[in-house]
Amino acid sequence: MSITIAILGLAFLILLHEAGHFFVARAVGMNPRRFYLGFPPALVKVRRKGIEYGIGAIPLGGYVKIPGMHRPAPSDVDVQLGAALKEAPSLYPKAARIQRALEADDLAAAREQVPELEQAVAAAQLTPAADRAAQRCLTELRDGLADDAYWRQATWKRIAVIFAGPGTNILLAIVIPLVAYMIGAPGNPNRTVKKVETKTPAQAIGLHAGDTIVAVNEHPTPNFDAVSHRIRGSGGKPITVTIVRGASSKTLGPVKPRRLGGHYVLGFEPGWDTQRYGFAGALSLSLTRTWDGTKGIVTFLPRLVTRSGRKDVSSTVGIVQYSSQAVSFSFTLYLEMLGLISLSLAILNLLPLLPLDGGHILFSIVEGLRGRAVGREVYERVSAVGIALFLVLMFIGLSNDINRLGGG
């Protein structure tokens, strides 16, 4: 159940990120063509008022198709329509007229020629692969030449649409912990046992939920930090645990702690102290911790080039694992972690790399200063670098998570 809640929480953050792009795009006059959770191909889809809503088969994020992200270029027609032109040479004249109009920067004339090309493609005898490529070409032309195309909009509108995604995540990073602090903020872990895991040293010596650990190896443990320090510092040697159960105390063990993730543990979950705040106090605490989290994430990014920094990277697998552990400890602790995950998504998305949101914002500013659009081929080259860096980061994170799950 905790893993399911963790996965749904991550999907919730992604969905609202994409919803930010979606609703702001509609508000400034750009009509999105698709709104997906995950990436196509679609597992489920439905069309409403010209917009296709769906759940994608690739669960790596979300997807909003905003029309005309790039200015159509003559070379786009050659590339996207190439297979169809080989199979149906009769398409050449109509494709050529659109290319000439694009070369002359006569977008109105190019748009007028698209219906003729559509009719010619529909009448041509094309293989399925060539037909799909031709349909994609037609869709790109229609969207790129439309009045609501992204590349044709004012710079402020484009930045507003792109920033809306990470901006929503920043807002969630404040609101979700705020709710947690009003419900009952997770404080510090305490000495009282909340849960004993099965087939662990803690279960073997008879530790029960509700027991309060007052000493380890006869050394007093006034708080959970002391308990944890004594267990982790045991070096795997047998230890005894003195507990208070009801009105009596007893000593359990000795037992050897188990090595897990580079540390020694007995296999129990501690209880947590909580503190409830009013709205003003919760908002102040949430803003403070969001700012502290922002500074922590920003200062961590340069450390990615170091070995110690790379070891701290996690993939989606690690995020779900840590989130599910937080759920098992305390739902309010999970909400606090969900806020931090939302903040991380926002900051990472604002990095000035394509295809991240920050890269699109940077290019929107560049195009606004130049007074003309950057060619699609430039976007694609820069995006290739960004995608490569992202894949390397994901590989490092997944490797770290596999090592952690394996106890390495």
DSSP result, 181-198? HHHHEEEEEEEEEEEE-T
Of 23 and 385, which is predicted with more confidence? 23
237 and 318 part of one domain: no
Mean pLDDT of the chain: 86
- Amino acid identity for residue 40 in this structure: P
As a whole-number percent, the residues of the chain with pLDDT over 70 amount to 88
- What integer pLDDT is reported at residue 40 of this predicted model? 77
> Any bridge partners for residue 25, and if so which?
none
Residue 149 has pLDDT above 60, yes or no: yes
- Written in H, E and C, the secondary structure of 298-333 is HHHHHHHHCHHHHHCCCCHHHHHHHHHHHHHHCHHH
Residues 286 and 386 in one domain: yes
Q: What is the percentage of the chain residues whose pLDDT exceeds 90?
A: 52
**pLDDT tens for each residue of 263-321:** 889 999 888 788 889 999 999 999 999 998 898 888 876 766 666 555 666 555 556 55
d(C-alpha 294, C-alpha 169), whole Å: 12
**190 located within any domain:** no
Give the structural domain span for 236: 198-266
Q: What is the pLDDT of residue 408?
A: 47
Instruction: Please give the residue that has the higher pLDDT: either 56 or 118.
Output: 118
Do 314 and 390 fall within a single domain?
yes
Q: Is 52 exposed, middle or buried (0-12, 13-18, 19+ CB in 10 A)?
A: middle
The contacts found for 405-408 with CB under 8 angstroms, 24 or more apart, are 405/317, 405/321, 407/259, 407/260, 407/261, 407/262, 408/262
> Which H helix or E strand runs over 29?
none
Least confident of 182-196, 241-255, 320-334, 365-379: 320-334
Residue 139: pLDDT band (50, 70, 90) is: very high
Whether residues 126 and 213 share a domain: the answer is no
pLDDT digits (tens, 9 = 90+) for 79-106: 889 899 999 999 999 999 999 999 999 9
Residue that wins the pLDDT comparison between 408 and 244:
244
Q: pLDDT band for 405, please (50, 70, 90 cuts).
A: low
Average pLDDT over residues 240-244: 94
Residue 154 lies in a domain: no
Which is higher by pLDDT, 299 or 168? 168
Nearest-Å Rg of the Cα atoms of the chain is: 28
The answer to whether position 44 is within a domain reads no
Pairing of strands 258-260, 263-265: antiparallel
- Are 322 and 250 in a shared domain? no
- pLDDT-based confidence at 14, cuts 50/70/90? confident
CATH assignment of the domain containing 217 = 2.30.42.10
* 3-class secondary structure per residue, 94-125: HHHHHHHHHHCCCHHHHHHHHHHHHHHHHHCC
- What is the pLDDT confidence band of residue 62, given thresholds at 50, 70 and 90? confident
User: How far apart, in whole angstroms, are the C-alpha atoms of residue 217 and residue 238?
Assistant: 9
Kindly state whether residues 341 and 233 are assigned to the same domain.
no
pLDDT band at 398 (very low <50, low <70, confident <90, very high): low
pLDDT class of 385 with cuts at 50, 70, 90: confident
Residue 23 lies in a domain: no
User: How high is the pLDDT of residue 76?
Assistant: 85
Question: Does a structural domain hold residue 25?
Answer: no
For residue range 317-373, list pLDDT tens digits in order: 556 555 666 666 678 888 888 898 899 889 989 989 888 899 999 999 999 998 888
Average pLDDT over residues 197-212: 92
Angle at alpha carbon of residue 37, lines to 32 and 39, rounded to 5°: 85
Among 217, 239, 266, which residue terminates a domain?
A: 266
Asked whether residue 104 is assigned to any structural domain, the reply reads yes
Total domain count for the chain? 3
Q: Are residues 379 and 311 in the same domain?
A: yes
Among the residue ranges 47-61, 247-261, 343-357, the one predicted with the least confidence is 47-61
